[in-house]
Structure 1
Amino acid sequence: MDDDFSLSQLAVMPRLPDATSKFIQDSVHKICRFSPLCVKVMDTREWQRLRSLRQLGLTNYIYPCAVHTRAEHSMGVCSLANEFADRIYRGQRAELGMTEMDVECVSLAGLCHDLGHGPFSHVFEYEFLKKMNITDWVHEDMSCQILDLIMENPRIPDNLLPDEVDRRRIKTMIDPPTDAAFSSRPDRYLYDIVANHHNSIDVDKFDYLKRDSMLCGIKIGFDAKRAMIFSKVIGNEICFKSSEYMPLLELFRSRERMHRQVYTHKKTKIIEFMVSDAMFEANARFRFDEKIRSAKTFLSLDDSIMNRIQFFHEFHDRETLDDREQRGMDSAQAILKRLHDRDMYQFINAAQIPHYLPSEAVDQIIRMFTSTEIMSCYSGNGASLNAEDIITSVNKINFSMNDKNPMEYVKFFTRFTDTYSRPVSSEETSEMLTPVFQERSLRLYSRNGDLEVCRALEEAFQSWIRRHLGPNRPMETPRRFGQMGADSRPNHSNGLPLQENSLPGGSGKYVSKVGSGHRLTFAEGRRGSEEHAQNSGFEAATKCVDGDFRCPSPVESHSSLFKRKRSLNVELDEANEGAA
């Protein structure tokens, strides 16, 4: 540990207990401290609704212990936000002009940031509302509307309530803007604690990764307490000690792992599709699409909606439904019966979209990934396919900033006395870091569990993949529903050039060259080297909007990993000496 670490001990040591605070035992963060205002907010009907929203929605059908709620998560985020802001306040308040009310606002933002979540958390927003073609609703906006209702509660003493300016600040902390003018604010660091849109390092992520992984039985290596200790504000943003590069990288690796193993688990998605379908059918009676337009009516929506649909006639035995409502309710109840009888929708198969394709080609592939397109690729006569039975889904896993490396947006310092910080590139830390930070895969599901239908859909999907992604593109699983013909099996041999019309769109002008200077690695070698790319023997070519486009190789940028590394500490020392 550095000798100058003693200069930051005031910010590192925890605040001593006081008579006005309330302490609550938490299974993840142990003892959590809450201010009197936060306690009053928690004791409102609006906030208590979070106890009826499971944090991971329907994941408990796959991970039975994942039954924690948005309430525990929000309390954890509040506690971490308070601790992080309080460390900055006690260590740098003089130079930053920071006040205790700043700490209180950050804590309240953490406590209330998830108030606007609907039933089954993200399922409501990303599956159900999408199915309803509602695109102008986000849970952050609803969180701010519900916060306004809480601030009007007469049970909260006036002397505790934040003024109108601070209320606006709390709302902005829940969902900060991303424009350049806001990023240049001197107090921007306060808005990066709960929801960091700059580099995605925030206490919301600290809590949900630790809490979700623990309840799902998955171990992750990131330590949030350490990250907060080895940080300080330089300029207007939170920076970290240079020794924390790899621990912070582990934060994003943990996020990627949780998305892969838990959040986008293919069987979890099946259950989400089923519940979303049931809510869609029951909407004729419950009018979910109308309830989201008002914070007061929105509060009636929580995870109990599944039982309210399933046992509707037991709860409303005297209510008469019209024909449309009755048909919808019958369909919704039939879907939920299938769910509880474990008569699930079926996962057919999946295939990754090559990471080296340009965005225009990827967008084109996704637009063409429809049920009718899949059906058009079925040439057999053994099953009758129905477009309504087919579910197409695009699964995306990344480091939280799409195809960007979030670590390139984090700034580091060498010693706690430094007044200068800078970003660190991956070339300066390790030659083993992947140049790919996002993968997208196409998943196909069937509402019809008949074996012949599933086999036909798998063959059609295989044909669609060969047509649009090339003959060498492997499926996630070679065969799931029985033996397919030899012509349906993917060609995995290396060294074969992609043929014309074998990539996005299936037609048009392509460029495909063997032996050219620019090479591409295979998907399985996305960490690859130039030698592997040269041995692979082909350059994948892609379709261009104007008819003649060649995909750039990621190896070109990846080759920079082989240049001489510079010493981060030496460069930062020189910069600080210059500043002094």
Structure 2
Amino acid sequence: MKPILFEKADRLDSEIVFRDTVHDYIHVRHQLILDLIDSKEFQRLRRVKQLGTSQYTFHDAEHSRFSHSLGVYELARKICDRFVRNYPNEWDDSERLVTLCAALLHDIGHGPFSHTFEQIFGTDHEHFTTEIILDETTEVNAILRKVSPDFPNEVASVITKEYPNPQVVQLISSQIDVDRMDYLQRDAYNTGVTYGKFDLSRILRVIRPHKEGIAFQIQGMHAVEDYIVRRYQMYMQVYFHPVSRGMEVTLDRLLTRARDLYQTGQLSPAVPFLEPFFEENYSVKDYLRLDDHILMYAISVWVNSEDRYLSTLSKMFLNRQPLKSVEFDREHDAETVEYLRDLVDELFYDRKYFTMTNRSSDISYDYSLKEKAPITLMHENGQMVDLSEVSPIVRILSDNLHGNDRLYVPRELLQTSLPAQQNLEIFDDVYYEFQKHIKNGKIN
């Protein structure tokens, strides 16, 4: 089926702009895009934070999935404009419509505190993204069907990487796509760090289409190389920050306790919007009711729960007093980790709800990754080369997992001196035994 062009009648009489911290202005020139932005499913993203628990470490990081999605759309729009101007023989601008819609909607399936929620309830934001696009009861689907009955399937196939044009797929999902370009810049700005601030203007200047997908002119190699380094730094310094992970672990244990109580008929008070997920019987409609506000309301209610564990974990999360961590070596420290978790269980805690191991790791660049296309550089003569073959820095970062394993436990066990408020002899014994195995923030 031939891709559908924007019709002239679809153009707005007057361009709409959104003022943006990263891109200055976000330009909307077509009614279809404005209608999608105004849909209730897309507006829900205003109530879903982009960085989840990172806001408890970097206090300005309260930006939303809404602003990020607009930014991804804007980058896709700019790139389409550049391709039309400079590569009309390599880029078919009839692909613009599906590209911009996929860029705008790529995160519409994210839920509250997305990744933590997914781990507990087995949801998947990419699955829900396609479900929201394809479900005929959603406003998004109705808007897309105005283009053609099959258009929602085309947009969804970009998200699932099944769309036949690799140029469109790689713009939305690859190892240097419009999604990553926006969130690195946006997250760096809102966390107040400089790590993610790569030379976006230069990358937009050297990006180009070719018959196999997307490439970058060889003279822009160092800008692309810097993007990889900055991405590595953001993961190590921001996304994997141990306090953010501590809040995530605390939320994980809190929701696990709430689910366990619900399944035994002991959760009080119940939160209706969460019940379908506790029962593992939820629909797209149930999912779209959820946002950060719903989850924070539930936690606020559970502060007064009669269940001591749920109440304690809820207070810890609301008051930013998460479980605290030590680093460990997964290969050598497994027995010690289990021993320390058993020590916690001897106190008035339950190791299931007040201890947890957390592994955060990332490959900065993987040239062998099939799901995400490798980064290709193009010489003036058309010869193609993988980035890792010409960049020693990227080659060092390639194919290696970066990150660590951490054991999270009640914070008083990791204080440098015995907490004064503890008067139980058993706590003193556990504290000193625990400290025997900790040195310089690591298990030894």
Is the shorter-chain TM-score for this pair beyond 0.5, marking a shared fold?
yes
SS at match of 2:171: coil
**Equivalence map 1:2-151=2 (5 Å):** 19=13, 21-34=15-28, 35-96=30-91, 98-100=92-94, 102-125=95-118, 127-129=119-121, 134=122, 137-149=123-135
Count of residue pairs the alignment pairs up: 401
Structure 1 residues 422 and 157: alpha-carbon distance in aligned structure 2, compared to 1, 3 A threshold: closer
In 1, the alpha carbon distance for the partners of 2:102 and 2:343 equals: 57
Match for 1:208 among 180, 183, 187? 183
Task: Report the aligned-residue RMSD.
Answer: 3.7
Distance 1:223 1:459 in 2: 47
Per-residue deviation at 1:142? 0.1
**Alignment partner of 2:156 out of 153, 158, 171:** 171
Does structure 1 retain, via aligned residues, the 8 Å contact 2:132–2:138? no
Match of 1:298 among 283, 287, 301: 287
1:369-384 matches, within 5 Å, as 369=334, 374-376=337-339
Q: 1:156: how far off?
A: 6.3
Evaluate the alpha carbon distance shift between residue 429 and residue 440 of structure 1 in structure 2; reply closer, same or farther with a 3 A threshold. closer
Tell me which amino acid in the other structure corresponds to 1:282. Answer: A
Deviates more, 1:264-273 or 1:280-289: 280-289
Find the partner of 1:456 among 424, 433, 438: 433
Spell out the pairing of 1:161-560 with structure 2 (5 A cutoff): 161-177=146-162, 185=164, 187-196=165-174, 200-219=175-194, 220-283=196-259, 284=262, 285=270, 286-287=274-275, 288-290=277-279, 293-312=282-301, 331-347=309-325, 349-351=326-328, 365=331, 369=334, 374-376=337-339, 387-388=351-352, 389-401=354-366, 409-415=374-380, 418-426=381-389, 428-430=390-392, 434=396, 437-447=400-410, 449-450=412-413, 451=418, 452=428, 453=430, 456-457=433-434, 459-460=436-437, 478-480=439-441
Which protein is richer in helix relative to its size?
2
1:52–1:455 Cα change, 3 Å:
farther
TM score, norm. by length of structure 2:
0.78
Give the 3-state SS of the residue equivalent to 2:27 in structure 1. Answer: strand
Distance 1:422 1:378, change over 3 A: closer
How has the CA–CA distance of structure 1 residues 141 and 64 changed in structure 2, closer, same or farther, with 3 Å as cutoff? same
In structure 2, distance between residues paired with 1:110 and 1:174: 9
Shift of 1:268: 0.8
Which structure has more relative contact order (CA 8 Å, sep 6+)? It is 2
Question: 2: distance between equivalents of 1:161 and 1:155?
Answer: 9
Is the contact made by 1:85 and 1:190 (CA closer than 8 Å) also made in structure 2? Answer: no
Q: Deviations over 1:23-51 (max 9, x none)?
A: 21111101111231111011111111101
| Alpha-carbon distance in 1 for matches of 2:143, 2:115 | 34
Question: 1:455: how far off?
Answer: 5.1
Cα distance in 1 for residues equivalent to 2:172 and 2:372: 18
Bigger CA radius of gyration: 1
Q: Measured at CA, do residues 411 and 307 of structure 1 come closer, stay the same or move farther in structure 2, by a change above 3 Å?
A: closer
Give the distance between the partners of 1:221 and 1:112, measured in 2 at CA. Answer: 24
CA distance in 1, matches of 2:183, 2:113: 16
Aligned partner letter, 2:124 = V
Partners of 1:46 and 1:380 lie apart in 2 by 46
Q: Matched residue of 1:48: which SS?
A: helix
Q: Contact 2:240/2:403 (CA < 8 Å) preserved in 1?
A: no
> Structure 2 vs 1, CA of residues 223 and 18 (structure 1 numbering), >3 Å: closer, same or farther?
farther
Whole-angstrom distance in 2 between the partners of 1:120 and 1:193: 26
**Distance change (3 Å), C-alpha of 1:104 and 1:458:** farther
Q: Deviations over 1:538-562 (max 9, x none)?
A: xxxxxxxxxxxxxxxxxxxxxxxxx
Give the C-alpha shift of residue 246 in structure 1: 1.9
Q: Does the Cα contact within 8 Å between 2:80 and 2:96 map onto a contact in 1?
A: yes
Q: Distance in 2 between the 1:120 and 1:77 partners?
A: 20
Letter in 2 for 1:153: E
Further displaced range: 398-407 or 65-74: 398-407
Which SS does the other structure have where 1:191 is aligned? Answer: helix
Q: Contact 1:394–1:441 (CA<8 Å) still a contact in 2?
A: yes
For residue 566 of structure 1, what is the aligned residue in structure 2? none
CA contact (8 A) 1:29 1:76 kept: yes
Q: TM-score, normalised by structure 1?
A: 0.61
Give 5+ residue unaligned stretches, structure 1.
1-16, 318-325, 354-364, 463-477, 482-487, 491-580
Give the secondary structure class of the aligned counterpart of 1:443.
strand
CA shift, 1:342, in A, is 4.4
2:134, 2:141 within 8 Å by CA — same for their partners in 1? no
Q: Is the alpha carbon distance of 1:292 and 1:172 closer, same or farther for their aligned partners in structure 2, counting shifts above 3 Å?
A: farther
Q: Distance in 2 between matches of 1:211 and 1:20?
A: 27
- 2:50 partner SS: coil
Q: Distance in 2 between matches of 1:154 and 1:403?
A: 35
**TM-superposed deviation, 1:95:** 4.4
Identity %: 21
CA shift, 1:291, in A, is: 6.8
CA gap 1:259/1:424 in 2 versus in 1, 3 angstroms = closer
- Going from structure 1 to structure 2, the CA distance change for 1:71 and 1:245 (only over 3 Å counts) comes to same
- Residue 421 of structure 1, CA deviation: 2.5
